[in-house]
Amino acid sequence: MKVFKKSLQALGATALVMGSAITFSAPATAQDVSLSDILDLVRRDSQQMSAEDERRLQEFRQQTAEQARLMSEARGQLNAAEARGRALSAEFDENERQLTQLSAELETQAGDFGELLGQFRTAAGETMPIIRESLSNYEYTGRAERLAEVSEARSLPTREDLDALPKAMLQEMVAQSEVKTFTAPVAGAGPDATIADVEVMRVGVFTAATTDDTRFLEIITANTDEPYLRVLKAQPGGDFQAAMKKLIAADEGEVVITPVDPTKGQLFAVAGEMPGLGERVNQGGVVGYVILFLLAVGAAFAIFKIVTLFLMGGAMRKTAKTRQAGTGNPLARVFEAYETNKHHDIESLELKLDEQILRESPKIERFNDIVKVLAAVAPLLGLLGTVIGMIITFTAITNFGAGDPKLMAGGISVALMTTVLGLVAAIPLLLLHAVAASLARGNQQILDEQAAGLVAERAESNTGVA
C-alpha cells in the first residue's frame, strides 16, 4: 500500500511539473488557470484513486476470507467422507469375512448335499441350451430362463427350483411326441419378409411349418442373443410340402405320413437349395438347349413316321386281302401297275412291278435317316458340351485356384448336364428310329411279297395256258 501511495505522489509531482511547464509556455491569454488550481485538481484525483484502491482492497480481503471459509468447509466434508469411507471399508471387510465364514459353515453343514447341488446346477446348465433351441420353447416359454437362474444362483435352491429341471425335461420329452399348432413370431413370414406372428404347426421338436402357406421353418442360433424362427429361404418342394399340407388338413386321430427333419430345418434347407429340372437344364447352357431342340425335332419326325407307317401297314394289309387296285396306298399302286402291265410278258411285268416298288420305297423310308442322324448327333453335342464345361472349369482353376469348389461348379455342371442331355436325346431317338425302321421294313416286305405273288400267279397262268 505504501508503494502504491508513493506512486501516486510521483504521479502528482509529474503532473505538477508538466502543469508548470504548460503555464510558462502558454500565451498570455491562458494565465487565468493557476498552479494552485492544478495542484488541487491533482490532489482530488489522487484522493479519488486512493479511495477506489481502498475499496477494491477491502473487497479482495472479503473474498479471500470467504474462500478460506469455503476451503475449510470442503476440507471438513472431505475428512467426513474419508472417515465414512474407512468405516464402510471396514464394514465391507467384516461382511466379507462373515460371508466367507458362513459359506464355509454352509459347505460343512451341506456335506454330500453340496456335491449333489453342484451336479444339479451342472445338469441345469447343460439342459438349458437344449431347451432354449427347441421348437417347443416357442410354445412353452420361460423354461430356459428359469433353468438359467437355477444354474447361476449362489444361494441354496428352493423346492420349486429343484422341481424346475425335471419338469422342463419331462415337458420336453412329451413335446417330442406332440403334433400341435401355436402362434409365434416368425422372421420372413410378414410382408416384405418382415417378422410377423403366424400360426405354426410343429411335429415333435423337429419340424415346423406355417399353416397358411405351408412354408417350412428353421431355428436361427448363430450370431444372435436369442434364437428365433425364420422361414427357409429355399423351400423343399414335391413330396415334402404335399405331406405337410396333408398333415395340416388332417383331422384329429387321423394317421398321416409326414417328413421329419432331425436337424430342425437344416436338411430341408439343403433339399430346398437342390436345383430342379428347369435349373438343371439351364446349367447345360446353349449346347443343352440345342440338344433339346434336336430331341424335339427328331421325336416329332419319328412319331409322325411311326403313325404314318402304322396306318400305311394297316391299309396295305387290307388291300392285300381285297387286291383292289388304286392310289390310296403303296400296295394299291402296285396292284394298279400290275393291272396296267399284266398283258406284257413275265420279264417285263416283273420289271414294272420292281420299278413301282422302287418308286414306293423312298416314301416308306422317308425321315428315317433324319431321325437316325439326330440320334447320332445328340451324344456328340453332349461331348462338345463336356469339353466346353471342362474348359470353363480349368479356366476358373487357373484364375482363382482350386481352393473354392463353388468356382468350378459352373463348368462341371455344364460338362455333366450336356452329357446327360445328349444321352437323354440319343436313347429315345434310337428307340423311335428302331420302331420306325421296323415298320418300314414290314411295309416293304408286304410290297415284295405281294409283287412276287403276282408274278408267280402270272407265271402259273401262262404255264397252264401253254
Structural domain ending residue among the three candidates 50, 71, 86: 86
Q: Are residues 40 and 71 both part of a single domain?
A: yes
- At 302 the pLDDT is 93
Same domain for 302 and 406: yes
Q: Are 445 and 334 members of one domain?
A: yes
- Whether residue 119 is contained in a domain is answered as yes
Given this model, what pLDDT does residue 374 score?
A: 93
Residue 97 lies in a domain: no
- pLDDT of 157 strictly over 80: no
Residues 32-49 have a mean pLDDT of: 80
In-domain check, residue 397: yes
Q: Are residues 82 and 118 in the same domain?
A: no
Question: What is the pLDDT, as a whole number, of residue 114?
Answer: 67
Residue that finishes a domain, picked among 235, 253, 274: 274
Asked if residue 100 belongs to a domain, the reply is: no
Does 385 share its domain with 357? yes
Mean pLDDT over the full length of the chain: 82
Query: Residue 125 and residue 149: Cα distance in Å, rounded?
Result: 9
Q: Which residues contact 372 (CB under 8 A, 6 or more apart)?
A: 433
Q: What is the pLDDT of residue 26?
A: 40
Give the chain's domain count.
Answer: 4
Q: Is the pTM of this model over 0.85?
A: no
Do residues 165 and 123 share a domain? yes
Q: The domain containing residue 266 runs over which residues?
A: 178-274
In a domain, 94, yes or no: no
Looking at residue 13, what is its pLDDT?
A: 47
Kindly state whether residues 331 and 445 are assigned to the same domain.
yes
Label residue 427 by pLDDT band (50, 70, 90): very high
Please check the confidence at residue 27 and state whether its pLDDT lies above 50.
no
Q: Is the pLDDT of residue 279 over 80?
A: no
Residue 197 lies in a domain: yes
Q: What is the mean pLDDT of residues 216-229?
A: 83
- pLDDT grade for 33, boundaries at 50, 70 and 90: low
> What pLDDT, on the 0 to 100 scale, is given for residue 423?
92
The verdict on 225 and 255 lying in the same domain is yes
Domain boundary among 127, 147, 176: 176
Do 326 and 288 share a structural domain?
yes
Claim to verify: residue 259 and residue 290 sit in the same structural domain: no
Confidence of residue 111 (pLDDT cuts 50, 70, 90): low
